[in-house]
Amino acid sequence: MELIELADSSLLEQVLDDTYGLWGDGLSRKAYGLWNLAQMKTRWGKENLARVGLVEGDRVMVSAKRYLFDAVIAGHPTRVLGIGAVFTPESRRGQGLAPRLVEAMIADGKARGCTVALLFSEIGAAYYTRLGFTAVPRQMVTIDVPHTRRGAPATMVRAADPLDFPEIAAVSMTYAMKASFALNRTPDLIEFGIMRRRLRAGLGPAGLRQVEIYVAEEGYRAAAFIVVSRGPEGVVLEDCGDRDPSGARIGALLEAYVERDPSQADRTLRAWLPDGLHPPQVRFSAPFDAPEIMMVRHLPTDASGPPLISPAPHPTWWPLDVF
Ligand SMILES: CC(C)(COP(=O)(O)OP(=O)(O)OC[C@H]1O[C@@H](n2cnc3c(N)ncnc32)[C@H](O)[C@@H]1OP(=O)(O)O)[C@@H](O)C(=O)NCCC(=O)NCCS
């Protein structure tokens, strides 16, 4: 069995049929298919996202999503192999197919210059530990935006549009520069993350999910931004950034977000924030473990020397980039 990209529509449909029950996220089966296809057609997705699998005859034995990220680890540019949606149809489980697929993806990833494989486990850490992955602690906080009697702040706030993505990416990269391990967040990657969330909201039942993006302007440029999603999992600050290290404009954007419709009970958001970023206007809960377990496996190559992350203590990884 060889690793192949499942570009053929009948093979892809098999995978979508099989995985819909688990990852359909409230979409109809048709919308689930459209959502998957549309992600692969974004600028970033076209180059960096593929559904792969081990195929025998006309049957997909096991499949997964392959993401190829550009990243920076301890100052060194590298590539990261993202492995998502590993799935073996029920009748074929327990035969070691998923480990075979993961190993084949890793061999392929190494050939593409990846030095780290990374996944988010939904089934605990033990299974992937056996496959050589290590869990990387990743903590989130709950942010509470207190009610202000002043109402929405007097910051120039507006909804973002795609023309803002380069500025948003530039603001975001200021955090990546300081991190031991971070993605190289290009405008195309930001667009991919936002499109993926927006499409799921738009293709799903009315009112189930919503995604909003606001920017604070300074001289017609986005100087700060927030991306907030609302759905069955609650309200999540998916991404944010501020040219001002205090994060005061993020706080102002969050105040504007909650005040835009005071009847909404959206004052409490789950968030991940880089070290040292603490918008002064908001209150933080004690940190708690993120629901998805980030796991990494170093992929040594002859040239790469000792592991660069073993694991990195504080990876910079926004909820928007969780796959
Ligand atoms: C997890 C999965 C990919 C394993 O595929 P597989 O081809 O059967 O791989 P294996 O033969 O190595 O798997 C068998 C092992 O998986 C373990 N496993 C399966 N589901 C599990 C779960 N939800 N939690 C923990 N372990 C699980 C089994 O306990 C079994 O362990 P054993 O070897 O000690 O008996 C498959 O069960 C599956 O597709 N599950 C549904 C999708 C899913 O949850 N994917 C993972 C997303 S992170």
How far apart (Å, rounded) are the C-alpha atoms in residues 89 and 134? 26
Ligand 1 center to 182 CA (angstroms): 29
Q: Cα–Cα distances in Å, from 25 out to 121, 200, 230, 271, 313? A: 17, 8, 13, 21, 31
Q: What is the mean pLDDT of the chain?
A: 91
Highest mean pLDDT among 190-194, 271-275, 301-305: 190-194
Q: What is the mean pLDDT of the segment spanning 228-241?
A: 95
Instruction: Please tell me whether residue 161 adopts helix, strand or coil conformation.
Output: coil
Q: Is the CB of 121 under 6 A from ligand 1?
A: yes
| Residue 94 CB less than 6 A away from ligand 1 | yes
Categorize the per-residue pLDDT at 211 as very low, low, confident or very high, splitting at 50, 70 and 90: very high
Ligand 1 atom having least distance to the Cα of 127: 26
Residue 305 has pLDDT above 90, yes or no: no
CATH number of 139-289: 3.40.630.30
Q: Is 60 in the pocket of ligand 1 (CB under 6 A)?
A: no
Instruction: Read off the pLDDT band of 303 (50, 70, 90).
Output: low
Q: Which residue's C-alpha comes closest to atom 20 of ligand 1?
A: 123
What's the 3-state SS for 216-279? EEECCEEEEEEEEEEECCEEEEEEEEECCCCCHHHHHHHHHHHHCCCCCCCCEEEECCCCCCCC
pLDDT, position 314:
73
Q: Residue 156: left if φ>0, alpha if ψ -120 to 50, beta else—which one?
A: beta
Helix (H) or strand (E) holding 38: helix 29-41
Locate the domains of the chain by residue range: 3-137+291-321, 139-289
pLDDT beyond 90 at 155? no
Name which of 124-138, 167-181, 308-322 the model is least confident about: 308-322
Q: Decide if 295 contacts 133 (C-beta within 8 A).
A: yes
The CATH superfamily label for domain 3-137+291-321 reads Gcn5-related N-acetyltransferase (GNAT) (3.40.630.30)
Secondary structure (3-state) at 19: helix
88 Cβ closer than 6 Å to some ligand 1 atom: yes
- What global pTM score does this model have? 0.93
